[in-house]
Structure 1
Amino acid sequence: MATTNSAPLLRATGVKKSFGDLQILKGIDLEVQQGQVVALIGASGSGKTTFLRCINLLEEYDHGEILLDGEQIGYRDEGGKRRRLSEAKVSGQRARIGMVFQSYNLFPHMTAEQNVMLGLTKVRGKPKAEAQEIARHWLARVGLAERSEHYPYQLSGGQQQRVAIARAVAMEPRLLLFDEVTSALDPELVAEVLAVMQDLAKSGMTMLVVSHEMLFVRQVADHVVFMDGGLVAQAGPPGEVFENPETPRLQQFLGRFQGILTPAA
């Protein structure tokens, strides 16, 4: 678990994002300490995925500031105006932020090992032999040592998602983003992916997780953020958020998971 007596690894202040006339993010403030697992929960359409994509610069945010290690992501201030950084600079920042998607996004013509190696050779510039060693290490870590030469079509959905996690972690990101990574999986495959995420959390990986797996959130997250209508409606330790919902919207949302969530021992 992270300590909270130092500057946060990630700090978002007043982040706003619109698509045309539709404002999705209305001023998000959030901090993530190094080594912390922060979970974003909320109904579909509350802005969780859009916020993650802004952190990784897959979406440009309109207003506010996102800092990683104290460095503004995507922009610089120049003469009181915000200027977009060069693509080379943005690519360098993005390489420090790993992201695992709902849909795996593996290259179908590459083996599991080759999928993990690609970023290590093309982005990190590592020699092939070193990249292969790292890839094999992480595939073994996620329980796929015997599947390294398999292509995505030869793997189950859960196995493909574990390859995607290995690919992201192998790049040694400062922050790892998870966007509903179990939502496309059959129920019996969800547990194997959550187990890998829990193992990463125990190892000290800094993680920002969007998930509807409330029991996982309750057990693994250090901090829970409930988003509603593009705003942070409530945030705090899991026990506080789950046991003392302050708004009717959060009460209604958690009510969908009755029978799954039980008070912590």
Structure 2
Amino acid sequence: MRIAVEDLEVSLSGRTVVSGVHLVAEEGEIAGLVGPNGSGKSTVLRTVYRYLRPHAGRVLVGGTDITSLTAAESARRVAALPQERGSDFELSVRAVVAMGRTPYKRAFAGEDRADAEIVAAALAGVGLAGAEKRRFSALSGGERQRVLLARALAQDPQVLVLDEPTNHLDVLHQVELLALLRAQRRTTLLSLHDLNAAASLCDRLHVLHEGALVASGPPREVLTPELLADVFGVRAAVVDHPLTGDPLIAFDHRTPGRRQPIDLISSPSAVSPLSSQKNVPPSP
């Protein structure tokens, strides 16, 4: 199912935090939002899973304005893993994951065999088979993250919206999570701080800066040394990963980069002029 964000504008406490944002995730595509802290990534995602209502523009899921759907209809199409993690659920791991089946149940309806199989598969998918009886509130941050992802998977959505899904995860579980998302090929829109993870996982990247979209396209075209310097303020070289062939960003941790005024892209499919330069490190 295709996601399209059209001319999105969101204001919070009277201040515009996102303006004029166009972006897409095609059916079966993994699209990533990247950008510095405060660039508007979470705000955009919150409009897609209906936590925020845009002041202008719209979010289309499968061609339908998300705000026109009922809560249950929306939940059957879109499942979210927000940054705000529940930490005080006095429930078992299994009970938390089973909450993902709620959009499919009538009031007071019990769990059936299909629900049980879906919940078990979701737990196995995030590496928590056998942890069903543990208390959610007693888990580590990384374990809670995986339980909440399992809950989203148990929702059996057509679209996944994930806000920093690798937070709190150790290296092994980060790699396993990215492999799981890649294998599913479910339409996915997610934000990531780890640019190398984004370059490896995503089919398409959208770069946000100060609430505006400044570049959009395949990771290899978008993540150039010039853009990394101008948007993130770092010096870096972009090379081929020796194991996977994906773009690999080698950061200069000794010398800050530079930031220049950013040119906004002019159409949803365009790539900023910043991302069309040669892959050579900028001078300090």
TM-score interval w.r.t. the shorter chain? Answer: 0.7 to 0.9
2:24 is matched with which residue? 31
Q: SS of 1:27's equivalent?
A: strand
2:81 is matched with which residue? 100
Q: 1:41 aligns with which of 18, 34, 47?
A: 34
Whether the aligned pair in 2 keeps the contact of 1:162 and 1:193 (CA below 8 Å) is no
CA distance in 1, matches of 2:65, 2:220: 32
CA distance in 2, matches of 1:107, 1:123: 22
2:272 is matched with which residue? none
Whether the aligned pair in 2 keeps the contact of 1:73 and 1:90 (CA below 8 Å) is no
1:124 is matched with which residue? 104
CA distance in 2, matches of 1:103, 1:73: 21
Question: CA 1:211–1:253 in 2, change beyond 3 Å: closer, same or farther?
Answer: farther
Deviation string 1:130-187 (CA, Å, 9 cap, x unpaired) is 322211111112111121111123322222111111110111111111111333x26x
Deviation at 1:249, TM superposition (A): 2.5
CA distance in 2, matches of 1:18, 1:103: 20
CA distance in 2, matches of 1:95, 1:52: 17
CA distance in 1, matches of 2:32, 2:224: 16
1:157 is matched with which residue? 141
Deviation string 1:179-214 (CA, Å, 9 cap, x unpaired) is 11333x26xx25404422322222212111111111
Deviation string 1:13-66 (CA, Å, 9 cap, x unpaired) is 101011233111111101111111111000111111000001111001010121
Deviation string 1:59-98 (CA, Å, 9 cap, x unpaired) is 01010121111111114xxxxxxxxx7xxx2442243111
Does residue 18 (structure 1) correspond to residue 11 (structure 2)? The answer is yes
Q: 1:195 aligns with which of 176, 189, 196?
A: 176
Whether the aligned pair in 1 keeps the contact of 2:75 and 2:157 (CA below 8 Å) is no
CA distance in 2, matches of 1:106, 1:21: 30
CA distance in 1, matches of 2:211, 2:75: 23
RMSD: 2.3
Whether the aligned pair in 1 keeps the contact of 2:88 and 2:137 (CA below 8 Å) is no
Q: Which runs of 5+ in 1 are unaligned?
A: 1-7, 76-84
Q: SS of 2:122's equivalent?
A: helix
Larger radius of gyration: 2
CA distance in 1, matches of 2:76, 2:219: 30
Q: Tell me the amino acid that sits aligned with residue 13 of structure 1.
A: E
1:55 is matched with which residue? 48
2:282 is matched with which residue? none
Which runs of structure 2 are paired with 1:57-72 in the superposition (5 Å)?
57-72=50-65
Give TM-score scaled by structure 1 length: 0.81
Q: Which has the higher contact order (CA 8 A, sep 6+)?
A: 1
CA distance in 1, matches of 2:55, 2:165: 26
CA distance in 2, matches of 1:236, 1:9: 16
Q: SS of 1:224's equivalent?
A: strand
Whether the aligned pair in 2 keeps the contact of 1:46 and 1:228 (CA below 8 Å) is yes
Whether the aligned pair in 1 keeps the contact of 2:76 and 2:158 (CA below 8 Å) is no
CA distance in 2, matches of 1:226, 1:200: 20
